[in-house]
Structure 1
Amino acid sequence: MWVVVLVTLMFGGVNGELVTVGGNAGWNQGINYTYWVSQQTFYIGEWLLFRFDKNYFDVLEVNQTSYEHCNSENFIANITKGGRDVFQLTEARPYYFITSKGYCWGGMKLAIDVKNLPPPPAPPPQENYAVGQSMYAGSMNVMPVLVLAISVFVILFG
């Protein structure tokens, strides 16, 4: 169990993050989701968390036309389960979500554009690469592996 948590923390990165739709307000009336989306960037692999009262609201994935017209009849997927529902963003494309029962017309709809994962940061420049390579090659490459091995050993046998 601890090994899984450790590996997830080390290699999780952007992929797999949980994004709560609407922030602290959740999936609710009176939220400007267009503004909220403008403050976010969404990537493949992330999960959307919709928090809402399932007695009043639901979450439907729809196409763009249904989104624009608040039409819940031909939805793509009903992701409503219990009011704490998650949806994984698996493709770089636009996604559209609405709630039915008339609440969409009050603004409970969400359109996001999912992007591919950002490229990893470029390595820092090295002035004298030949000297640095010969002096530190062994110790610099082994250190992260050694720290991970010690951490796993302590968790399992400590």
Structure 2
Amino acid sequence: MALGRGSALVVLLVCFLVIHSELAQAAIYTVGGAGGWTFNTIAWPNGKNFKAGDTLVFNYSPGAHNVVAVSKAGYGSCKTPRGAKVYRSGKDQIRLARGQNYFICNYVGHCESGMKIAINAV
């Protein structure tokens, strides 16, 4: 009976270590660097290696900008699809999902002025 309990404890400990190591490797990125989320940030992701679980921090003036998580079509057209998640706090933190992640500012003309990013998280 003690062997069964010991084995369960080992399995539980291994699961904890795997989960903890994955969380510890997640990175935090400030979109746009010191300038924050603003015009012409379209190239900001270039040269960076993003992973699923990394966090993007969008710093901007609320009321002047926003962040909208969109599909590839919404990114390409600079249009907000129905039901898209809109962030407005000015200090938004968004965790990346595995695969393609697209974000725009949907204020008139902002996305068209390069206020959008596309990120592939592996």
- Relative to the length of structure 1, the TM-score reads 0.59
Q: Percent identity?
A: 27
Quickly say closer, same or farther: Cα 1:13–1:72, change in 2 above 3 A: same
- Per residue, is there more strand in 1 or in 2? 2
- Relative to the length of structure 2, the TM-score reads 0.74
Quickly say closer, same or farther: Cα 1:75–1:42, change in 2 above 3 A: farther
Q: 5 Å matches for 1:65-80?
A: 65-74=73-82, 76-80=84-88
Quickly say closer, same or farther: Cα 1:40–1:78, change in 2 above 3 A: same
Equivalent residue, structure 2, for 1:22: 32
Equivalent residue, structure 2, for 1:112: 119
Amino acid at match of 1:43: K
Contact 1:60–1:75 (CA under 8 A) maintained in structure 2: no
Structure 1 CA distance for aligned equivalents of residues 41 and 106 of structure 2: 17
Provide the aligned C-alpha RMSD in A. Answer: 1.8
Equivalent residue, structure 2, for 1:86: 93
Contact 1:79–1:87 (CA under 8 A) maintained in structure 2: no
Whether 2:101 is the aligned partner of 1:95: answer: yes
Number of residues of Structure 1 aligned to a counterpart in Structure 2: 101
**Max Rg structure:** 1
1:124-144 superposed Cα distances (whole Å, 9 cap, x missing partner): xxxxxxxxxxxxxxxxxxxxx
Partner secondary structure for residue 45 of structure 2: helix
Runs (4 or more) in structure 1 with deviation over 4 Å come to none
1:36-75 superposed Cα distances (whole Å, 9 cap, x missing partner): 2112111111110000011110000000011101002425
Amino acid at match of 2:25: V
Structure 2 CA distance for aligned equivalents of residues 21 and 14 of structure 1: 19
Whether 2:74 is the aligned partner of 1:44: answer: no
Whether 2:39 is the aligned partner of 1:33: answer: no
Contact 1:44–1:114 (CA under 8 A) maintained in structure 2: yes
1:15-37 superposed Cα distances (whole Å, 9 cap, x missing partner): 2x2110111111012x3422x21
Structure 2 CA distance for aligned equivalents of residues 60 and 75 of structure 1: 10
Amino acid at match of 1:93: G
